[in-house]
Amino acid sequence: MNSTTVIIGAGISGLVLARELVTAGVHVTVLEKSRGYGGRMATKRVGEAVFDQGAQYFTVRDAKFIELTQNWRNAGLIKNWPDTPHRRVVGNPSMTAVPKALAEGLEILREHKVTAARRIAGGYWDLDVENHGVIRADRLLFTCPVPQALAVLAAGEVELPAGEAASLAALQYHPCLALLVTLAGPSAVPAEGLVLTEGPVRWIADNVKKGIAQGAAAAVTIHASAEFSAANYGMPEAEVAARLLPVVQAWLGSPAVSTTLHRWKFSEPVTTHAERCVWLPELALGLAGDAFAGSKVEGAVMSALAMAERLRG
């Protein structure tokens, strides 16, 4: 049996980690519970309208990330957000461009939700996968949100070292309600988007002005605040729209034709781990992602690179 490393989660962190390991000659299988990949680097089409519904842009600061993103830029996968400071970088044509490119050639099993991870004789991992039986791995790496990883380990009765268990359990996330609004005409949202510091809305952006939906229907992404999202996470879509649209009416500029609500349960870490990743060699178990090296896209990538370096070392 070939040695297999399984990565749970095909967000940007999981995809970068998988590609780094495959380049180093490791056999990697990525398991993703949803139909797509990219995590919060997500784009959604509603009729003729196109929305970046999760991460709106990212910034580039670390030298390693600068090198990596230069390769993405050379490949035409990213660009600067039009009419904004150059530090804002977006996918080209949308935020899914980079994840789609990273996923090419990788062994990714989508709609494979892992419900439990169990340690068995010989030091292997047996993963219970909903509707797909059991998948065995020599090494298990989580890049999904930490609470999801801990739930999978708990279901398999895996005990982590006490200190590490406590530090991981302390990592919590803010939710985010994303309301996607199709308009009858142009919006009045500034080209660079708008950050609101008070009230139930924290962010509003026009996807046409952003450049991901040229010629398409006017498409505005509204992100509710962490406080509103937490208090109203289960609220029906119509009620969320009724609460949020009046707040941003002055910036919509045209009547709303339709709304679609996406619920991000694990939108942004409240705090981050002291280390860029966690690797427990005695369990052949690792955790990486935006809860370790920073809550944004760059942090997720840097955590993946740190984990790859740890495993290569």
Phi, psi (rounded to 5 degrees) for 153 = -70, -40
Q: Supply 54's token pair.
A: 């999760």
- pLDDT value of residue 3: 72
Give the CA distances from residue 282 to residues 19, 143, 260, in Å, rounded to whole numbers and listed in that order. Answer: 24, 19, 45
Q: Supply 215's token pair.
A: 């010629």
- pLDDT value of residue 282: 96
DSSP letters, 80-145, are EPTTS-TT-EEESSSTTHHHHHHHTTSEEE-S--EEEEEEETTTEEEEEETTTEEEEESEEEE-S-
| Cβ within 8 Å of residue 246, ≥6 positions away | none
Counting DSSP H helices and E strands in the chain, the numbers are 10, 18
Per-residue pLDDT of the chain (313 residues; tens, 9 = 90+): 467 999 999 999 999 999 999 999 999 999 999 999 999 999 999 988 999 999 999 999 999 999 999 999 999 999 999 877 668 999 999 999 999 999 999 999 999 999 999 999 999 999 999 999 999 999 999 999 999 999 999 999 999 999 999 999 999 999 999 999 999 999 999 999 999 999 999 999 999 999 887 666 789 999 999 999 999 999 999 999 999 999 999 999 999 999 999 999 999 999 999 999 999 999 999 999 999 978 899 999 999 999 999 998 7
Instruction: Round to whole Å and give the CA distance between 273 and 206.
Output: 34
Beta bridge pairs of residue 142: 8, 287
Beta bridge pairs of residue 195: 203
Instruction: Round to whole Å and give the CA distance between 285 and 105.
Output: 24
Q: Are strands 173-183 and 256-269 parallel, antiparallel or unpaired?
A: antiparallel
Instruction: Round to whole Å and give the CA distance between 23 and 101.
Output: 15
| Cβ within 8 Å of residue 211, ≥6 positions away | 79, 81, 82, 90, 93
| ∠ Cα 177 178 179 (to 5°) | 115
Q: Supply 293's token pair.
A: 């090296």
- Structural domains in the chain, CATH included, are 5-37+110-171+271-312 (3.50.50.60), 173-269 (3.90.660.10)
Helix (H, G, I), strand (E, B) or coil at 54: coil
Helix (H) or strand (E) holding 263: strand 256-269
